[in-house]
Structure 1
Amino acid sequence: MDRIKEEKMEVRQVEQVVQPEKKQRSSIGKVFAWTGLFLLLTLIAAAMFIAYQGAVQQEEKAPDFTLITFDGEQIKLSDLRGKVVVVNFWASWCNPCEDEAPDLEAAWRQYEPTGEVVFLGVDYVDTEPEAMKYLEKFDITYPNGPDLGTRISHAYRIVGVPETYIVDKNGVVTDVQIGPFPSLAAIQRMIDPLLSN
C-alpha cells in the first residue's frame, strides 16, 4: 500500500514538472497564432486599400502612356497637350461597351474636324481578332489599340469596362465616366466646357 502511495506521489511530482512546460508551450503557440493572424489581417487590409483606391479622380494629372494602335501608330498622351483627350477603356466582350460605342463614334465625328479633341480607345484584356470585329461592327474610326500587359489600365486604376476619362488641354482629368455613357449629349456635356477655355 505504501508503495502505491509513493508511486502516486511520484506521478504527481512528474505532472507538476511537466504541466508548466505544457502550459508554456501552449501559450507560446497562442502568441505565434495571434501574431500570424494579425499579420494576415494586416496584409489583407493593405491589399484591399490598394485595390479600392479607385479610378484616377477628377483634378488628378492624367497618367501618361503610349498607345500602339492596331495599325501600328504610336500615340503618347503627353504629346497631345493643348487638346482635349477622351480616353475610353473598352473590350469586345463587354456588352455595356456596345451600348456606348455608337455615341462615342458620333462624338468623335463631331469633334474631329475642329482639331481640338482626340479620342483614344484602349482595348482591355481582349484578342486582336475580336477587337477588330468590334471596331468594324460599330464603324469606329478614332485611334484604338490594345492595352498590352494591362499597363495603361493599371495606371488609371480602372475598376472595369467601359470607363472613360476626359483629359483637359493641360493634361488634367476633368471628368470620369464609369460605365457606359447614356447618350451623345452626356459626352458633349463633358467636352464642350473644355473647348471654351
Structure 2
Amino acid sequence: MKRTILFLLISLSVFAVYAQTTEKTNADDRGYIVKVGDLAPDNFSLELTNGKKTTLKALRGKIVVLQFTASWCSVCRKEMPYLERDVWLPNKDKDLVLIGVDRDEPLEIVKKFHQDMKITYPLALDPGADIFGQFADKKSGVTRNVVIDRNGRIAFLTRLYDPEEFATMKKVIGNLLTNTSAK
C-alpha cells in the first residue's frame, strides 16, 4: 500500500513538472502563445463599451489591431495616445479596425478609462481575461498589440511600448493596408 501511494505521489510530481514545463514552452519569452503567421483565434465575441458586439470572423477583409490594455497599466496609458494619433486617426477610413481589449475590468471603469484617455477608437470588455488568454499566457501582462491581416492571420505582435517596435508595427499596418490583393 505504501509503495502504491509513493508511486502515485512520484507520478503526480513528475506530471506536475511536465505540465508546468509544457505550459512555459508554449508561451514565448514575451508571454505569447500565438505567433506571427498563425490564424488568429476567433471563437469569441468582442463586446464594445457601447453595447455592440463583433467577432474577428465578422471583421475578415479588414486589418484588425487588438490592443490588450487595462486602466491600471501605466505603459498602456503611455502607448494609447500614439495608437490614437499614429495608427487609428490616419487609417480608420482605410479598412483598419483598432479595438482596445480591456483586461478584466467592469464596464463603468472601462468607460471612464476610455474618456480619461481621450481616445476615439473603441474599447471592448474582456471578463476573466478569456480573450487575452487565447493570445497570451494569462500570467503575462498587458500592453500588447496583435495585428491581424485581412485573412485572419497574425501579422505582427508587440509587447510593452517600444518606439522602435511601434514604428515597425506602423510599417506592417501600412503595408497590409496597401496590399489589396487579399481583399
- Contact 1:181 1:187 (C-alpha < 8 Å) held by counterparts: no
Structure 2 partner of 1:180: 161
Structure 1 partner of 2:135: 156
Matched, 1:46 2:46: no
Matched, 1:63 2:79: no
Q: Kindly provide the amino acid, as one letter, of the partner of residue 46 in structure 1.
A: A
Match of 1:195 among 171, 177, 181: 177
CA distance in 2, matches of 1:190, 1:179: 17
Q: Which has the larger radius of gyration?
A: 1
CA distance in 1, matches of 2:79, 2:168: 11
TM, length-normalised to structure 1: 0.77
Give the drift of 1:186.
Answer: 3.9
Structure 2 partner of 1:37: 10
CA distance in 1, matches of 2:132, 2:170: 24
- Contact 2:71 2:109 (C-alpha < 8 Å) held by counterparts: yes
Deviation per CA, 1:148-185: give whole Å up to 9, x if none: 23221122234320111000010000111122242663
Give the drift of 1:41.
Answer: 2.6
- Contact 2:68 2:145 (C-alpha < 8 Å) held by counterparts: yes
- Contact 2:46 2:55 (C-alpha < 8 Å) held by counterparts: yes
Q: Kindly provide the amino acid, as one letter, of the partner of residue 60 in structure 2.
A: R
Matched, 1:75 2:81: no
Structure 2 partner of 1:91: 70
CA distance in 2, matches of 1:98, 1:143: 15
TM, length-normalised to structure 2: 0.83
Give the drift of 1:133.
Answer: 2.2
Matched, 1:170 2:151: yes
Structure 1 partner of 2:101: 122
Deviation per CA, 1:134-155: give whole Å up to 9, x if none: 2112211112111023221122
CA distance in 2, matches of 1:82, 1:195: 11
Structure 1 partner of 2:89: 109
- Aligned pair count reads 169
- Contact 2:103 2:128 (C-alpha < 8 Å) held by counterparts: no
Give the drift of 1:30.
Answer: 5.2
Residue aligned with 2:90, SS: helix
CA distance in 2, matches of 1:134, 1:95: 12
**Structure 1 unaligned blocks of 5 or more:** 1-27
CA distance in 1, matches of 2:162, 2:65: 12
Q: Kindly provide the amino acid, as one letter, of the partner of residue 167 in structure 1.
A: I
CA distance in 1, matches of 2:25, 2:65: 24
- Contact 2:110 2:123 (C-alpha < 8 Å) held by counterparts: no
Give the drift of 1:190.
Answer: 2.5
CA distance in 2, matches of 1:168, 1:113: 16
**Structure 2 unaligned blocks of 5 or more:** none
